[in-house]
């Protein structure tokens, strides 16, 4: 049952990305271009995401455990460190330059294969650099 729910959740998320055009880098870059030809349509997408997230927290606060797990897995760290700031900045710069974040970036492999291959290669390279750097620092 867990695998079915996970699949359906991913499918719903992917459909939401496609319907909202978050998979179209032109729309995303238009949203990020505040001083140019700004496209405010993604404000509604973000509003919907925040609303769903808030409903999730209300449900979590009212239930002692989730339906399909033994306990809630909620992040407990509240500190803001240099890794969080650096990672967030890198994500934002990458999103702003390419118009893709990891989920929609995978769809580029079918929608725009040339860009998709470059994006996925950069994603893998960045992940490998992080893994190498993190492993080196923890050794």
Q: Is residue 44 a contact partner of residue 19, using CB atoms and an 8 Å limit?
A: no
* 21 & 4 share domain: yes
Same domain, 5 and 19: yes
Residue-level pLDDT at 139: 64
Token pair of 35 as six digits: 């001083």
Find the domain containing 90 and state its range: 79-139
The DSSP line for 13-38 is HHHHHHHTTTT-HHHHHHHH-TTSS-
Which helix (DSSP H) or strand (DSSP E) does residue 45 occupy? Answer: helix 42-62
Cα–Cα dist 117/115, whole Å:
6
Q: How far apart are CA 120 and CA 106, in angstroms?
A: 7
**End position of a domain, from candidates 58, 74, 90:** 74
Per-residue pLDDT tens over the stretch 12-36: 988 888 888 888 888 889 988 889 8
- pLDDT tens digit sequence for 57-103: 999 999 999 888 889 988 888 999 998 998 899 888 888 888 888 88
């Amino acid at each position: 049952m867990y695998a079915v729910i996970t699949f359906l959740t991913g499918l719903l998320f992917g459909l939401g990305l496609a319907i909202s055009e978050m998979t179209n880098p032109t729309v995303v870059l238009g949203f990020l271009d505040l001083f140019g030809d700004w496209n405010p349509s993604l404000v509604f997408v973000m509003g919907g995401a925040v609303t769903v997230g808030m409903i999730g927290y209300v449900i979590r606060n009212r239930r002692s455990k989730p339906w399909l797990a033994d306990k809630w897995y909620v992040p407990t760290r509240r500190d803001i460190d240099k890794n969080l700031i650096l990672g967030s900045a890198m994500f934002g710069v990458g999103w702003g330059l390419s118009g893709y974040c990891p989920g929609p970036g995978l769809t580029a492999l079918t929608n725009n294969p040339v860009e998709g291959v470059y994006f996925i290669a950069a994603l893998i390279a960045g992940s490998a650099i992080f893994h190498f750097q993190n492993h080196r620092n923890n050794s």
